[in-house]
Structure 1
Amino acid sequence: MTGRVLICDDQELVRVGVRMIVDSQPDLTVVGEATDGATAVELAGRLRPDLVLMDVRMPGMDGIAATARICAALPETRVLIITTFDLDEYAYSGLRAGASGFLVKDAPADEMLVAVRGVLRGDAMVSPSVTRRLLDRYLGERGGAEHAAKLDLLTEREKDVLGLIGRGRSNGEIAGELYIGETTVKTHVGRILAKLGLRDRVHAVVFAYESGVVRPGG
């Protein structure tokens, strides 16, 4: 199955470079290009891509606003934010808007492809350690009380799994720490996402921070 990718960046050289990398892969194809957020929203609605590679700073509608609109309208479409720095506040805003990860703009081609495939799978975050540092820096102590009711939907074991997801553990690492099978971990992860109404694993990390299951800096 081929992953269909929409590129959104106001710099032509960036779009050309990304297109060359994506189209060089047999399992990926570029289905469209946009130069601003409004065009990205329009094309996403028409083309229904599997993934949008979204720049942040663009004329008119920026990438954060476009991400929020695309994620609200197209639950099956993933968005990968392209940011200038790995701890850019825009990357955090992108996650809050519904993006499934972020990519540093000058990342090597192989790292970009790992990020793209990870987000398309929905089972792997982009750079868990960097994601955690980003949340440590920008989340602070916000949001604990508002998620208490949702946390009550989880069993104690699911809360344990959620906490380890929030700390950037892989399924294999979670299985080892909790002395359970990896297949069982996958089942727990699926139930957590369904019960909490989360798009994918990276949003489980954000929820773990916002609910207080994982503390910034902890």
Structure 2
Amino acid sequence: MKQKPIEIVIADDHTIVRQGLRKLLEEEECLKITGEAMDGHQAIQKVFELEPDVIIMDIAMPVLNGIEASRQIKQSALKTKVIILSMHDHTRYIRELLSIGVSGYLLKNAVSHDIIKAIKAAVKGETYLSPAISSRVIEDYVGMNQKTSQDELYDTLTNREREVFQMMVEGYSTKKISEILCLSPSTIKSHRSNIMGKLKMENISKLIQYAIHLGIIDIQM
């Protein structure tokens, strides 16, 4: 009897990356791409709609980044495994994503064999890391790295506040954020106020600088 293929969703804001990854993975008979997403919100929607076995997630996506999307997926009752495929090897990303419970973290320079190996490991309940990431994890624990006070402030934000925070620093207006999240403008204004208070920020300029420090947005934006 033929084994059921592993169903996968690919989440990355670059079309060429999604297309390349789809072509690579579909060469394996045991793998099947069932959906794609361009940002974190779409990634969550696809997971709830399709309930794939695995979602391969980029970190630096607009509207909602891969970290927050992974967090919401892992907090759900769904059994979808999350594998991070990113160009970033920031220690904070690695630490937070592993604490969330992702099943793999690979860099985008990983060879195809590693990606396929990570997928197969994930469905078996195992965790797979790129060699470079494994080294960073070991260094982090050996060095007893502690969170900075700025990281701790970010941890005080709720999931919804983190969503609003990212869109704020990406330049979305209160009206646009309310439309995306299907919330009233007054609710978004309340979230904005809470965010500024919790992060102890006086203006949007400092908030953007803080977001760059955390890696929420890239300096090139």
Instruction: Give me the TM-score of the superposition, normalised by structure 2.
Output: 0.58
C-alpha separation between the residues in 2 aligned to 1:129 and 1:10? 24
Q: Which residue of 2 aligns with 1:94?
A: 97
Residue 75 of structure 2: which of 53, 72, 75 is its match?
A: 72
Q: Is 1:40 matched with 2:43?
A: yes
C-alpha separation between the residues in 2 aligned to 1:90 and 1:130? 11
Work out which of the two has the higher radius of gyration on C-alpha atoms and give 1 or 2.
2
Q: CA deviation at 1:104?
A: 0.7
Q: CA deviation at 1:135?
A: 5.1
Q: Which residue of 2 aligns with 1:26?
A: 29
Work out whether residues 82 and 103 of structure 2, in 8 Å CA contact, stay in contact via their aligned partners in 1: yes
Q: CA deviation at 1:75?
A: 4.0
Work out whether residues 39 and 61 of structure 2, in 8 Å CA contact, stay in contact via their aligned partners in 1: yes
Task: Give 1:122-137 correspondences, 5 Å limit.
Answer: 122-127=125-130, 130-131=133-134, 133-134=136-137, 136-137=139-140
Distance change (3 Å), C-alpha of 1:74 and 1:55: farther
Q: CA deviation at 1:70?
A: 0.7
Q: CA deviation at 1:57?
A: 0.5
Distance change (3 Å), C-alpha of 1:39 and 1:115: same
Distance change (3 Å), C-alpha of 1:16 and 1:74: farther
Distance change (3 Å), C-alpha of 1:84 and 1:47: same
Structure 2 gaps of 5+ residues are 148-221
Paired residue secondary structure (2:139)? helix
Deviations 1:45-82 (A, max 9, x none): 01000000000011111000000111111441100011
**What is the RMSD computed on CA atoms of the aligned residues?**
2.4
Distance change (3 Å), C-alpha of 1:101 and 1:22: same
Paired residue secondary structure (2:128)? coil
Instruction: Give me the TM-score of the superposition, normalised by structure 1.
Output: 0.59
2:134 is matched by which residue type in structure 1? T
Work out whether residues 56 and 81 of structure 1, in 8 Å CA contact, stay in contact via their aligned partners in 2: yes
Paired residue secondary structure (1:106)? coil
Q: Is 1:57 matched with 2:60?
A: yes
Residue 106 of structure 1: which of 91, 106, 109 is its match?
A: 109
2:144 is matched by which residue type in structure 1? G
Task: Give 1:1-218 correspondences, 5 Å limit.
Answer: 1-86=4-89, 88-127=91-130, 130-131=133-134, 133-134=136-137, 136-137=139-140, 140=144
